[in-house]
Amino acid sequence: MRGLSLEAFEDAYGPAVRLLHLLPPRAAIVQVDPAVLARLTADQRVEFALSKADPVPEQLTEAELMFVAAWRRASAKARGAGDGLEWGANGFEAP
């Protein structure tokens, strides 16, 4: 997000882009629908737009590389069958 403040980013993309994590001044993890992704990658203020599977660009700083690696590692963790459910949900017992 080179030269693009968080406020300008939100103004430009609104609710079509959900900001998940931010590492100023140029890295952000966002969730977008495919229709908006093309618009995001065409934005000259956006240096890279990557999916989880894309290779990480060599131009990232060490901090940005760690930021992306940590997010990928956390998002790849296996989730349990009851994750996100209320305690005592149907089919599950509270510990």
Inside any domain, residue 42:
yes
Q: pTM of the entire structure?
A: 0.66
Mean pLDDT to the nearest integer, 57-77: 89
Instruction: Name 87's Cβ contacts closer than 8 Å, sequence gap at least 6.
Output: 94
Rounded alpha-carbon distances, angstroms, from residue 29 to 41, 49, 88, 90: 14, 9, 33, 34
Residue 91 lies inside a defined structural domain of this protein: no
* Residue 62 reports pLDDT greater than 90: yes
Give the chain's domain count: 1
Q: Does any domain span residue 20?
A: yes
- Cis amide prior to 25 (ω within 30 degrees): yes
Residue-number span of the structural domain to which 38 is assigned: 6-70
Residue 34 has pLDDT above 70, yes or no: yes
From 72, 73, 71, 91, select the one nearest 81 (Cα to Cα): 91
The pLDDT confidence band at residue 21, using thresholds 50, 70 and 90, is: confident
CB 42 within 8 A of CB 50: no
